[in-house]
Structure 1
């Protein structure tokens, strides 16, 4: 159950102000169909969370606890670096001729695939031993971060200091990742 809460909070922070949130808001603006965008996003996010947690559960079976802890630390550290780094422009999928559900599903699935959130979910699943809890936590955290963007659209940026949240969370993730790495190497 700890992995559910940890993954929920991690994904909530890592997706706030991130490209997934921005694309979901842009698609909601473009299509004016929140239900279809929410359904497409929710299904895409669920598939990515299940996939990454299931894959992470195999890591736990193959290697001992210290390398798993190091993998966890690296996932968080690199997620923190990604949150602090410059981001390239986001493709708003305006050339896609599909409807709101399919555009949201495919666009957000592709965008989230291989993203920092997947590595965090996989690393937490490797540490937890039960892959379903990090999968659920990751999915709920992603939903909690992105759903307000779909509903509020461009107003979210006026309500929350997204840049400060990203910088603070990025620094926190870097510190936690380093701490996990130091534990894996038995420095602390």
Structure 2
């Protein structure tokens, strides 16, 4: 249960102002069809984060030494620094739904934009930390949905509710805390 809750909290906070949340806002503004957009985000996130959590879990099983535990701790600290950097929407977003429709366009765009994103890398680190692919993927997906459903329904107004610099600072502090926690465990 800890892996679910920590994963959901970390990703929900890290996702605010992230490029994938900006993509959700752009898609919502462009297509004005929230249900297929939300379903596309859900499917893309489940697939992407399940693979990321699996990769983290497998890699951590191969490298179970103290140095690997330190690498996980350092990766969380690096994520803390990365969380402080504002994201911008990519310029190469789809121009229209075309023949694929809103759902498939959203699914493909979200899956691709999430590759190498800080929430995906956080999912890899969480998978390595907790060794629980199912609950980590479920938690990170829940966090993505908690952050993106309001973005889809509220569009650009969602980014004005809470100043993003404070959200980024909060996310950085959570990642830093996880890094310290992992570092303490690496010392044992």
Provide TM-score, normalisation by structure 1: 0.87
Pairing 1:32-111 to 2, within 5 Å after superposition: 32-64=32-64, 66-91=66-91, 93-96=93-96, 98=98, 99-111=101-113
Q: Can you give the 5+ residue segments of structure 1 that lack an aligned partner in the other structure?
A: none
Q: 1:139 & 1:68 partners in 2: Cα distance?
A: 26
Matches within 5 A, 1:156-171: 156-171=158-173
Determine the C-alpha separation between the residues in 2 that align with 1:74 and 1:51.
Answer: 22
Q: How does 1:74-153 map to 2 (within 5 A)?
A: 74-91=74-91, 93-96=93-96, 98=98, 99-153=101-155
Note the C-alpha offset of 1:36. Answer: 1.3
| Cα RMSD for the two superposed structures | 2.1
Q: Check whether the contact 1:53–1:122 (CA below 8 A) recurs between aligned residues.
A: yes
Distance (whole Å) between structure 1 residues aligned to residue 175 and residue 2 of structure 2 = 17
* Number of residue pairs aligned between Structure 1 and Structure 2: 186
Q: 1:67 to 1:134 in 2, by over 3 A?
A: farther
SS of the residue corresponding to residue 91 of structure 1 reads coil
- 1:10 matched to 2:10: yes
Aligned residue for 2:116, secondary structure, equals coil
Q: CA deviation at 1:177?
A: 2.0
The answer (yes or no) to whether the contact 2:19–2:88 under 8 Å persists in 1 is no
Q: Where does the alignment leave 5 or more consecutive residues of structure 2 unmatched? A: none
The secondary structure found in structure 2 opposite 1:90 is coil
Over residues 81-120 of structure 1, what are the superposed CA-to-partner deviations in whole Å (9 max), with x where a residue is unaligned?
2221254553262535533212211111111112121222
Alpha-carbon separation, structure 1, partners of 2:146 and 2:154: 13
- 2:22 equivalent in structure 1: 22
Separation in structure 2 between the aligned mates of residue 114 and residue 49 of structure 1, nearest angstrom:
11
Kindly state the Cα deviation for residue 54 of structure 1 after the two structures are TM-superposed. 1.1
Matched-pair contact (CA < 8 Å) for 1:71–1:123: no
Q: Is the 8 A contact 1:13 1:145 kept in 2?
A: yes
Pair 88,27 (structure 1): closer, same or farther in 2 beyond 3 Å: closer
